[in-house]
Amino acid sequence: MKTNILVIGGTGKTGRRVVEQLQNKGIEPRIGSRNASPSFDWDDKDTWVNALNGIERMYVTYYPDLAVPGAKEAIQSLTYLAKELGVKKMVLLSGKGETEAEACENIVMNSGIDYTIVRASWFNQNWSESFFLEPILTGEVALPMSNVLIPFVDANDIAEVAATVLLDDSYNGEIIEVTGPELITFKDIVNIISKTSNRSLNFYDITLEQYIDGMKQMQIPNDVVWLIEYLFTHVLTNPKNQLVVNDIERVLGRKAKPFIEYAKETAKTGIWSQVEVQ
């Protein structure tokens, strides 16, 4: 059935999974993306009205991250418009330990619209669908801060939580923190991926400066380099991020997916076996 739910970022890592969760419940949400009809483009406010027209509930992800310059202004404009157009509830995906993201949260929390904030740790899927995939494919993984403990969380768990709180008003006014069930280091992760994918991966502990220089040499866009440097310097080392939180279990009634389970499932897809020739 058609519905009055909008998923902004509906083709992204969590958004497309939220769409699947809703579809599994018989709900056909409106997809908020450039290629959807009506389209939604963060960089073109003229698209926003049609995308939000008739919508009562919305899941919001901001690409690439709420911490980047311009995100706060975009969230402020979107939230104001949503209220004007009669949106009754917003679920915002945020990042744990990001001061700039918390500024965006506050805009939604003080808007007068019902809300739930979903604050996520780093995604498991960064290793299979994002910036950590390429080094895995080359077999040479060089990362800074190799011993920092991170509660990596699975995007499927995030999506299931987001879809649940989007439909269930008992979570209104709450901040839900989603983490994996254990603290794990980059070294641990590379070892796990090496074993589950039957690959021999070399891990190198480098400085953040070396890592940033390497990204620039690879001609990675400046805004992405800025974001990664920000995440490493401000988010990864934030004590708030080195805690396991049990909100996934509280909302879903089951434990969060451990990294090893994600790695086994992902290895079976063959994504880590498409070895790049140097």
Class of domain 2-121+154-179+242-257: alpha beta
Preceding amide of 29 cis, omega within 30: no
pLDDT at residue number 241: 84
Give residues with Cβ within 8 angstroms of 46, minimum separation 6: none
pLDDT at residue number 2: 55
pLDDT at residue number 259: 98
Query: For the whole prediction, is pTM greater than 0.85?
Result: yes
pLDDT at residue number 274: 76
170: exposed, middle or buried (C-beta count within 10 Å: 0-12, 13-18, 19+)?
exposed
Preceding amide of 239 cis, omega within 30: no
pLDDT at residue number 275: 62
pLDDT at residue number 220: 84
Local mean pLDDT, 10-residue blocks, the chain (278 residues): 86 97 96 96 97 98 92 98 98 92 97 98 95 93 94 98 98 98 97 97 97 90 88 87 95 98 98 72
pLDDT at residue number 3: 74
Concatenated DSSP letters of the chain: -EEEEEEETTTSTTHHHHHHHHHHTT-EEEEESTTSSS--BTTBGGGHHHHHTT--EEEE--SS-TTSTTHHHHHHHHHHHHHHTT--EEEEEEETT-HHHHHHHHHHHTSSSEEEEEEE--BGGGGTSSTTHHHHHHTEEEES-TT--B--B-HHHHHHHHHHHHH-GGGTTEEEEE--SS-B-HHHHHHHHHHHHT---EEEE--HHHHHHHHHHTT--HHHHHHHHHIIIIITT-GGGS---BHHHHHHSSPPPPHHHHHHHHHHHTGGG-PPP-
Neighbour tally for 33: CB within 10 Å: 20
pLDDT at residue number 53: 97
